[in-house]
Every structure is written in structure tokens, then in C-alpha cells.
Amino acid sequence: MPLVKIGLTGLLFFLIVWACDDIFEIDLSGKKVVLIAPGDSIHTEYGTQTFYWGEVKGASSYNLQVVTPSFKHIEQFLADTNVTGPKFTLNLTPGRSYEWRVIAKNGSSKSDSFYIWTLQIDSTTDLRKQKVLLNSPADNMITNIKKIGFNWSLISNTTGYNFQIWKPDLNGSRVMDTTVTSENIATGANLADGTYIWGVKAINNNTSTDLATRKMIIDRTPPKNVPTLTAPANKASFTTWPIDLKWNRSDSDGGSSLYDSVYVAIDTFFTSNVSAYKSTTKTFSFTYNMDTMYFWKVKTIDEAGNSGPESPIQKFTKSK
């Protein structure tokens, strides 16, 4: 096959077009988001609905809007939510009609036309056809907070919510089991460090939802080991930057994962020109332009936010 000579001008043109394709966003006006589920005009007793739609090339987010009973006669906006993915879950009240639509968006444009689908949630008091949507704390949260706030979305036709905590999982021991009438509870001060499953199910006189669950880890114990500063040697002097600060510590302290905070200042009390850096590699490349003496120290922090003891302070000098 013969070689094609494009020349310098052609090459520059190609590179400009290629770069512009990455820089300029796609104009979304006139595009429509294809709706997938729940199907148009369906009737169902399932109040918990996950809305799905097709992704649009060039969109960075989607605006889901759900109203009752219709966009022409809006009584309530149930959702006006921006999400990055092509789905979102809501609890809808039985015995009502709904309409929904999705608008694609990016930084410079949005789709200005859309499909509108209707949905009817039939009246029922059977909670087995609904699901409690947990809001906070996030799944797999690691915390050192003593009193934790738990929150979930309300469901219609309930008499209350059964809140449970298990350790370390649902096959372990149930350490809390209580019923509340609101969509939140604050508790956890008596929970020891460890892994837990917390969950909520809605109840009424006849039925209940399945238990919706999330995992959390409680870690209130700070790291115990003191970091050891290894480089540079104490009182070392340098004429060039950067300077590699290095230290040693235990990789595990019995709790959540660890990282280090590195502090550098120009006084031993760490009140002047203090800089703080986060490191997960037990090393940091430090650069600064002042010809002066620097003091530095390191302390270890775990993923829950507990701080360990600080290392002894060392110093080094930047000279001309």
C-alpha cells in the first residue's frame, strides 16, 4: 500500500481537529433521552421504582423529573434530580398517577425535547411490594463518631420502621432492635469498635418490607505507633531542591487503613509558614525556595479520622 504524505500543514490540521474533538462538547439540543423502564402507561402495586434510560453521547449528567399527576397539572414534584448514571430509585405513594421525563445535560447545552411516560401506582397496603431506601450513613462508612445519625426515605401505609444493628453481619448477634415512627434515629454510643450491619424495614399491621441493609465500621481507637523519621539526617544541609522526606511506621495498627500527615515549618512550635501534606507512601518530596532552617514531623491518621502520636521533630537547612 503506498504511503500517504500529508506534510507539516496537514499534520497540524489533523492534530487541531483531533484536539478540538476532545475540547468542544457535543451540542445536546434537539436530542432526546430514550426511556427504558418502568414502561409507559403501566399499572403496578410496586411503589419502589427504579427509573432507567439510555445514555446520550456527550452528556455528563441527566436531570430526572417525576411529578404527580402530570406535567400539565403538577400537584407535586417528586424528583428533580441530577445524576451521572442512567438510573435512579424512588419510593412512590400508592393510589396515584405519575409522569416522568429525563433531560441530558453537559457544561454548555441540554436536550430541549423529551419523551414523557406515565405510571400508575395502584392502591395497596402490602408493604412486601416496596423497599426502604437508606440515605445515610453511606454503605461501608468508617467512622469514629460516638452518636451516629441514621436516615431513610419514608414509605406510605406504614405504622413504623423497625431499626436493627447486627455484629459483625446478619449471621452474627443482633445488638439493637427498636421501632420508631420517624425516618431517622441517632444512636451508637454504646457500640464497640468493629464491623456492623444496620438495616431498616417498614411495618404495618399486616405486612413489612424486606430488611434494607448497609455495612459500617466503627473505629474509635487512634494509631499507637510513633513514626520514625529516617531521611534526611537530622540537621542535614542542602543546596538544591527537592528534598525527599522519609519515615517508617507500622503498616497496620489494628484498626482501619492508615495514612500520614507531614508537617513542615520554619519554627519549632510550627506556627510560621506551616505546610501540611498527606502521604500514603511514607515519603514526600518537599520543595520550598527560602534559604532557612526547616522543622518537620509526621503523625499517622487512620481512615476513621483518629490521630496517632507525633514523631520527634527534626530539622534540615536550605543554604545558598
Give 310: exposed, middle or buried? Use CB within 10 Å, 0-12, 13-18, 19+: middle
Amino acid 270: pLDDT: 94
C-alpha cell, 175: 445488638
Residues 6 or more apart whose CB falls under 8 angstroms from that of 121 comprise 44, 45, 46, 47, 49, 92, 93, 94, 95, 96, 98
**What are the residue ranges of CATH 2.60.40.10 in the chain?**
35-124, 128-218, 228-318
Transcribe 120-151 into DSSP letters. Answer: EE-----GGG----EEESPTTEEE--SSEEEE
Cell numbers found for residue 234? 537530622
> What's the one-letter identity of residue 167?
K
pTM: 0.80
Task: Identify which of 50, 25, 18 has the alpha carbon closest to the alpha carbon of residue 37.
Answer: 50
Distance CA 167, CA 244 (A): 44
CA-to-CA distance for 193 and 218, rounded, in angstroms?
Answer: 5
Q: For the chain, what is the largest distance between any 2 Cα atoms, rounded to a whole number of angstroms?
A: 82
**Cβ contact 301:286 at 8 Å:** no
Question: What's the CATH fold of domain 228-318?
Answer: Immunoglobulin-like (2.60.40)
280-295 burial, b at 16+ Cβ within 10 Å, e below that, comes to: eebebebeeeeeeebb
**Per-residue pLDDT tens digits of the chain, which is 320 residues long:** 444 444 545 544 444 444 444 457 899 998 999 999 999 999 999 999 999 999 999 999 999 999 999 999 999 999 999 999 999 999 999 999 999 999 999 999 999 889 999 999 999 999 999 999 999 999 999 999 999 999 999 999 999 999 999 999 999 999 999 999 999 999 998 999 999 999 999 999 999 999 999 999 999 999 999 999 999 999 999 988 899 999 999 887 767 789 999 999 999 999 988 899 999 999 999 998 788 999 999 999 999 999 999 999 999 998 87
What pLDDT does 2 receive? 44
**Pairing of the two strands 48-53 and 35-37:** antiparallel
Rounded Cα–Cα distance for residues 285 and 295 (Å):
15
CATH fold of 128-218 reads Immunoglobulin-like (2.60.40)
Q: Any idea what the Cα angle at residue 258 is, between residues 254 and 260, rounded to 5°?
A: 135
The CATH number of 35-124 is: 2.60.40.10
